[in-house]
Amino acid sequence: MSSEYMPLYRRFGILPKNEELYALSFTHSSYNGMAGTRHQDYERLEFLGDAVIGMVVSELCYIYHPDMEQGKLSVLKSQFIRTSSEAAYCKKLGLNEYIRVGASFAKDASTNESLLEDVFEAFVGAVYLDQGLGVCYHLVRNIFEEDIKNASVDMTTNPKSYLQECMQADKKESVTYRIVEEYGAGNAKTFVAAVYFEGQEIGRGSGKNKKAAETEAARDALEKMSLPEK
- Cα–Cα distance for residue pair 25/41, rounded to 1 Å: 7
CATH code: domain of residue 214:
3.30.160.20
Q: For residue 72, what pLDDT is reported? A: 80
1 occurs within a structural domain: no
50 part of the active site: yes
- Look up the domain containing 42 and give its range: 6-149
pTM equals 0.74
- Cα–Cα distance for residue pair 83/78, rounded to 1 Å: 9
Reference 50, options 176, 168, 211, 186; nearest CA is 168
68 occurs within a structural domain: yes
In tens, the pLDDT along 48-100 reads 999 999 999 999 999 999 998 887 888 888 889 888 899 999 999 999 999 98
| Catalytic option among 46, 121, 216, 220 | 121
Contact by Cβ (8 Å): 54, 170: yes
220 part of the active site: no
More confident residue, 186 or 197: 197
Considering the domain architecture, whether residues 139 and 179 belong to the same structural domain is answered as no
Distances (CA, A) of 83 to 35, 54, 79, 145: 28, 13, 9, 18
Contact by Cβ (8 Å): 78, 162: yes
pLDDT surpassing 70 at residue 207: yes
108 occurs within a structural domain: yes
136 occurs within a structural domain: yes
CATH code: domain of residue 87:
1.10.1520.10
| Catalytic option among 50, 118, 165, 216 | 50
